[in-house]
Amino acid sequence: MQQLNNLTLKQREELFRQLRISITHHSNAIEGTTLSFGETKELLELGRTAGHKPLGEQLVILGFAKAYDVIIREATNPNNIIDSSF
């Protein structure tokens, strides 16, 4: 596996996009949400809700993905230290 620094910007963006979907889906599935991987992907990438699934679950997924975005953004800032106070 290539080191992250050796990836092109486009490759890194694709990696983080895929991780965002996968981590969001799997973490929320562990917590009991019922959206499939595909439904999670459509919600995050296209904004399409799964009409037959609870809105509350979909809001949880969106909130988790936003938290992921904050962590990635802060972690890429060399002036930030991610520790327990974060």
How many C-alpha atoms does 33 have within 13 Å on its Cβ side? 23
Is residue 75 within 8 A of residue 19, CB to CB? The reply is no
Give residue 15's pLDDT.
93
Model confidence, pTM: 0.84
Give residue 66's pLDDT.
97
Residue 5 lies in a domain: no
The C-alpha angle with vertex 46 and arms to 34 and 72, in degrees rounded to 5, equals 80
User: How many structural domains are present in the chain?
Assistant: 1
Residue 47 lies in a domain: yes
Cα–Cα distance measured from residue 43 to residue 59, given in angstroms and rounded to the nearest whole number: 10
Residue 53 lies in a domain: yes
Give residue 59's pLDDT.
97
* Domain carrying residue 66: 37-86
Residue 68 lies in a domain: yes
Query: pLDDT tens track of the chain, all 86 residues?
Result: 558 788 898 998 999 999 999 999 999 999 999 999 999 999 999 999 999 999 999 999 999 999 999 988 888 888 877 778 77
Residue 20 lies in a domain: no
